Structure 1
C-alpha cells in the first residue's frame, strides 16, 4: 500500500462457524488465562512444553498470584538443576533446551506477580537472565547480551545477528509491554534472522530486568527511551542506519508510535496492537465503581480502589503491579499517570511507514488500534486478524506462526 487510504488487511476474512479455540479456558480469570496461553505459545519455538505447563496449571487457583509464583518457580528450578547436570555431563543440546525452558518459566513466574519486596522478584529475574545466557552459549543461537546506556543506568538488551544478512542489513528494534519480556517474543527475532534482518530486543523502563533489577519505571515520554537505543543501533557493525524499524507489543503498541513521533531515524514503525490513549483503554476495563469515583478526587478514589482490591484479586494485582511499574504511590496517582500516555495530538507527526496490528478478539485495548490508524497521516496499513487465522487474540497469542508470517511478509521490501 503506497498511500494512506483506510484499507485494512484481513488475512483471510472468511467466516468460521461454531465456537473458536479462544473459548477454551484454563483459568476463570481472563487475565491469568491469557497469561497462561502466552506460556503455552512459547512451545512454537521450544520455549515451553505442554505437559510441564499443564502440570503447573493444575496446581494454581484462578487469580492466586502466590500460587502462580510458587508453581512456576518450582518448575523453573527443577529444569535449571537438570540443565546444570546435563551441562556438567557434556550434553550441550539437552542442557540448552532445558535452560531455554527454565528461562521461560522463571520469567513466567513473575508475569502475574506484583510483590516487589518479595526476594524472588529479583532472584527469579536474575535466574531467567542466567538461564537465557546459557541457552544462547550452548545452543549456538546467534544472540549476544548488550547494555544500552540510559541516563545513569542501562537497559538490558540482546542483539540477534542474522547469519544470512547482507554486509549492511536492516535492524528491527522491539520491546514488549507491561507484562511479557522481550525474550518471550521468539516469533519476532527468529523470523527476523531467518530473513536476513538483525533484531535488537530491549528491556525498557517498567519491563523485565529494567524494573526488577535496575529499578527503572515506565515513563510517558518514550522518545527519551528509544533515542538512546537508536543511538547505539546506528553504530552497530553490519547495521544499515537507513533501515531501522521499531516494534512495540501490547502496551508497547502505544509506546512505539509515541517514540516514532519524535525519533525520525526510523524507517518503519509497528504497533501490535495499536493504542492511541492508554488511560482510556484502562478506564474502560475498570469496575464501574472505580470509574465513577475518579471524578470525586484522590481520597474517594483511593478508598474505593482499596475496597475493590479487597473484593477482587485481579484488581488488587493489577493496581499494585501498575503502581510499582509506573513508580507511583496511590491508585489515584496511577490513573493520573495513565492519562499521560496519550498520543492523540502526536500521531500526525509520525513519518515512518506504520503498521497497526489488531485482532477481532482484542480485549485489553479494544478499539484503540482503529483510533490510532485513523489518526495517522503517514503511509500506513491496518492488519486485522480474524477467527479464520486463529490469531485474533491480544498480540496473536497462540498463533505466533501466523503472526510471524504476516508481519514479516509485510516487512519484506519495506525494511
Structure 2
C-alpha cells in the first residue's frame, strides 16, 4: 500500500486509509488524492487533501438537503478524516492559520456526522481547571439504561474524531457508552486553545470522570479507560490516581520511553551518549 516514497507522507496517508475499516475513508479517494500530491511538499499535501475533503463534504451537504441522511452521514465522516489529514504536516510554531482552519472544518464535519447518527452523538465541553476540554458523548442507546462507559485517551498527534474510529465504534458495538476527549496537547485543545501536553494525566482524567458521572445512563461502577499510542502512557498514569475507574486498557503499555526516544530523535551525539548512560 505504498503511496509515497517520503516516509512521513506515507505514514500520514496510512492514518487516513486505516479508518476505511470503519467508514472513515475510502481507499480510492485516498489513492487519487495521493497521486495529486507533490512528493515531500507540505503545501501541495494540504491543498490536495483539502480539495478532496471539500468535494466529499459537498456530497454530504447535497445528500443532507435531498433527505438522504445515511449518505450524508457517511460522507461527513470521510470529509472529517480528510480535513484532519490535510493539516498533519503543518504542525509547528508559529501556528499556521491553515492548520486552524482545517481543524475547524474537520470538527464541523464530525459534528454534522454525529447529528445524523442514531442515537445522535452529543458534543461536550468538559470543565477543566479554568477552561474546558472538547468532548463527545457517544451513547449506545437513548433509553437511559445504565451501561458501562469507555473513556478514550488520545495519542500524541491524534484528535477526537480519530478516536471515534478507534474507540467508540468497537465500544458501541459491545453495548458500551463512549466518551471521547481532546486532552491538553491534543486536537482542538492544542490547536484552538493552546493547551500544552502534560505528563500528569491524573490531573486531566479526574475532571473527565467527574463529568462522565453526570452523563445519562452511565453506570458509575463500570467505567473503563483505554489509551492508545501515547495514551498508552497517559491512561495508566491517569488511572493510577483515579479510584473510580474499574478497568484500564493501555494500547500499547509503555513502561519506559527513553530507549525509543533516544533512537528516534535527532539528538546530538553527546546528549545521546549521556542518555545511554542513564
Structure 1 residue 257 and structure 2 residue 230: aligned?
Answer: no
Query: 1:121-143 deviations in whole A, cap 9, x for unaligned?
Result: 11111111111111122343531
Divergent runs of 4+, >6 A: none
Contact 1:164/1:194 (<8 A) preserved? no
Partners of 1:97 and 1:167 in 2: CA distance:
28
Structure-1 residue corresponding to 2:250: 271
**CA 1:164–1:232 in 2, change beyond 3 Å: closer, same or farther?**
closer
**Alpha-carbon deviation of 1:58?**
1.3
Kindly state the Cα deviation for residue 187 of structure 1 after the two structures are TM-superposed. 4.0
Corresponding pairs, count:
273
Measure, in 2, the Cα distance between the counterparts of 1:167 and 1:90. Answer: 31
Please say if 1:239 is aligned against 2:186.
no
Partner residue in 1 for 2:151: 173
DSSP 3-state at the match of 2:219:
strand
Among candidates 194, 206, 225, match of residue 204 of structure 2: 225
Tell me the CA shift for residue 193 of structure 1: 1.4
Structure 2 counterpart of 1:108: 85
Q: Which runs of 5+ in 2 are unaligned?
A: none
Q: Distance between the aligned counterparts of 1:198 and 1:293, measured in 2?
A: 49
2:29 to 27, 52, 58: 52
Shift of 1:53: 0.2
Q: Tell me the secondary structure at the aligned position of residue 240 of structure 1.
A: strand
Match of 1:205 among 173, 184, 190: 184
Using the alignment, how far apart are the partners of 1:56 and 1:100 within structure 2? 17
1:284 aligns with 2:263: yes
Separation in structure 2 between the aligned mates of residue 137 and residue 217 of structure 1, nearest angstrom: 30
Q: Which has the larger radius of gyration?
A: 1
CA displacement, residues 247-267 of structure 1 (integer Å, 9 cap, x when unaligned): 111111111111122112111
1:51-71 residue CA offsets vs partner (Å, 9 max, x unmatched) = 110011112244433222221
Please, what TM-score do these two structures have when normalized by structure 1? 0.61
Residues 17 and 25, structure 2, Cα contact 8 Å, conserved in 1: yes
CA RMSD of aligned residues (A): 2.3
Is 1:40 paired with 2:17?
yes
Q: Deviations over 1:244-292 (max 9, x none)?
A: 11111111111111112211211111111121233442222124xx241
Q: Which has the higher contact order (CA 8 A, sep 6+)?
A: 1
Query: Matched residues in 2 for 1:150 and 1:112: separation?
Result: 29
Alignment partner of 2:220: what SS? strand
Tell me the residue number matched to 2:172: 193
Cα pair 2:76 2:113 within 8 Å, conserved: yes
Provide the C-alpha distance between the structure 2 equivalents of 1:232 and 1:169, rounded to a whole number of angstroms. Answer: 16
**Which residue does 1:92 correspond to in 2?**
69
Q: How does 1:380-395 map to 2 (within 5 A)?
A: none
Corresponding residue for residue 130 of structure 2: 152
Q: Is the 8 A contact 1:166 1:196 kept in 2?
A: no
Q: TM-score normalised to the size of structure 2?
A: 0.89
Residue 180 of structure 1 and its aligned partner are, at CA, apart by 2.1
Structure 1 unaligned blocks of 5 or more: 1-23, 298-334, 336-415
Q: Distance in 2 between matches of 1:167 and 1:93?
A: 26
SS in 2 for 1:27: coil
Alignment-derived partner of residue 57 in structure 2: 80
Match of 1:390 in 2: none
